[in-house]
Amino acid sequence: MKGPMTTQTLQDIIGHEPFHWRGDRDGLEQFNATFTNLQGAATGLTTAEMQELKDFLSTVRFPPNPFRQFDNTLSTNVTLPDQYSLGRGSLPAGSPLPNGNAQAGLAAFRRDATTCIACHTLPSGVGTDLAWNGFRWLSLALGTNAAHHAALIALPRSAQLPFKIAQLRNLYDKLGTDFSHPSSRAGFGFFHDGSVDTLVRFVQDGFDIRSDQDSADIAAFLFSFSGSDLPEGSFIDILRPPGLPSKDTPAAVGRQTTINSPARAQLIDRMIALASASTSRVDLVVKGMENGLSRGWLYDRTTGRFLSDRATETSSPIALRALAGVGSEQTYTLAPAGSGRRIGIDRDEDGYLDRDELDFGSDPANPLSLATNTPPILSAASNLTVLKGTLLTLRFSATDKDIPAQLLSFSLGPDAPAGASINSTNGILTWTPSGPPGAITNSITVTVTDNGSPNRSDSTTFAVVALDLVLGPIGLDQNGVTLSWGAMPGRAYRIQYKTRLDEANWVDLPGDITAADGIATAMDFMANTNRQRFYRVFAVP
pLDDT score of 491 more than 60 = yes
Residues 233 and 278 in one domain: no
Please tell me whether residue 206 adopts helix, strand or coil conformation. Answer: helix
Closest CA to 336 of 252, 257, 244, 230: 252
Report pLDDT digits (tens) over 364-406: 998 888 788 888 999 989 998 888 888 889 999 999 988 788 8
Report pLDDT digits (tens) over 23-44: 889 999 999 999 999 999 999 9
Q: List Cα–Cα distances, 166 to 16, 194, 422, 472, in angstroms.
A: 10, 13, 73, 107
Element (H, E) at 216: helix 212-223
Q: Let me know if residue 4 belongs to a domain.
A: yes
Q: Which amino acid is at 249?
A: T
Residues 334 and 399 in one domain: no
Q: Give the pLDDT band of residue 528 (cuts 50, 70, 90).
A: low
Q: Let me know if residue 44 belongs to a domain.
A: no
Residues 351 and 398 in one domain: no
pLDDT at 113: 59
Residues 165 and 146 in one domain: yes
pLDDT at 57: 96
The CB density around residue 198, as the number of other CB atoms within 10 Å, is 27
Dist. CA 307–CA 353, nearest whole Å: 10
- Mean pLDDT score, 156-176: 81
- Rounded to the nearest 10 degrees, how much is the dihedral formed by the CA atoms of 87, 90, 94, 98? -140
- Mean pLDDT score, 275-293: 95
Residues 327 and 424 in one domain: no
pLDDT at 4: 66
Share of the chain above pLDDT 70, in %: 96
Q: Let me know if residue 35 belongs to a domain.
A: no
Report pLDDT digits (tens) over 43-101: 999 999 999 999 999 999 999 999 999 999 999 999 998 889 999 999 999 899 999 99
Q: Give the pLDDT band of residue 541 (cuts 50, 70, 90).
A: low
The residue ranges of DSSP E strands in 240-397, in sequence order, are 248-249, 256-259, 282-290, 293-300, 305-308, 314-315, 330-336, 377-378, 384-387, 392-395
Residues 226 and 125 in one domain: yes
For residue 390, give the CATH number of its domain: 2.60.40.10
Q: How many CA atoms lie within 13 A of 398 on its CB side?
A: 29
Report pLDDT digits (tens) over 492-519: 888 888 888 899 999 998 889 888 887 8
pLDDT score of 189 more than 90 = no
Which residues contact residue 507 at a Cβ distance below 8 angstroms, ignoring those fewer than 6 apart? 496, 497, 498
Residues 458 and 485 in one domain: no
pLDDT at 157: 59
Q: Let me know if residue 265 belongs to a domain.
A: yes
Task: Give the length of the chain.
Answer: 541
- Mean pLDDT score, 295-301: 97
- Mean pLDDT score, 428-451: 91
pLDDT score of 1 more than 50 = no
pLDDT at 114: 64
Range of 108-112, 285-289, 522-526 with top mean pLDDT = 285-289
pLDDT score of 255 more than 60 = yes
Which residues contact residue 520 at a Cβ distance below 8 angstroms, ignoring those fewer than 6 apart? 484, 485, 486, 487, 493, 513, 514
Strand partners, 141: none
Looking at 466, 486, 508, the residue that finishes a domain is 466
Q: Let me know if residue 46 belongs to a domain.
A: no
Residues 312 and 448 in one domain: no
Asked whether 427 and 397 are in contact (CB, 8 A), the reply is yes
Q: Number of H helices and number of E strands within the chain?
A: 9, 28
Residues 444 and 329 in one domain: no
pLDDT at 391: 87
Residues 20 and 168 in one domain: yes
Q: Which amino acid is at 356?
A: D
Looking at 222, 248, 274, the residue that finishes a domain is 248
Report pLDDT digits (tens) over 400-435: 988 788 899 999 999 899 999 999 999 999 999 988
Q: Let me know if residue 40 belongs to a domain.
A: no
How many domains in the chain?
4
CA-based torsion, 88, 92, 93, 97: positive or negative: negative
For 171, phi then psi, to 5°, come to -60, -35
Q: Which amino acid is at 154?
A: A
pLDDT at 515: 85
Q: Let me know if residue 222 belongs to a domain.
A: yes
Asked whether 481 and 514 are in contact (CB, 8 A), the reply is no
Q: Let me know if residue 309 belongs to a domain.
A: yes
Dist. CA 245–CA 394, nearest whole Å: 70
Please tell me whether residue 100 adopts helix, strand or coil conformation. Answer: strand
Looking at 409, 444, 466, the residue that finishes a domain is 466
Residues 448 and 339 in one domain: no
pLDDT score of 3 more than 60 = no
Domain boundaries, position 386: 377-466
pLDDT score of 2 more than 70 = no
pTM reported for the whole predicted model: 0.73
pLDDT score of 111 more than 90 = no
Asked whether 458 and 376 are in contact (CB, 8 A), the reply is yes
pLDDT at 159: 60
> For all residues of the chain together, what is the average pLDDT?
90
Residues 177 and 97 in one domain: yes
Dist. CA 432–CA 220, nearest whole Å: 90
Dist. CA 386–CA 466, nearest whole Å: 5
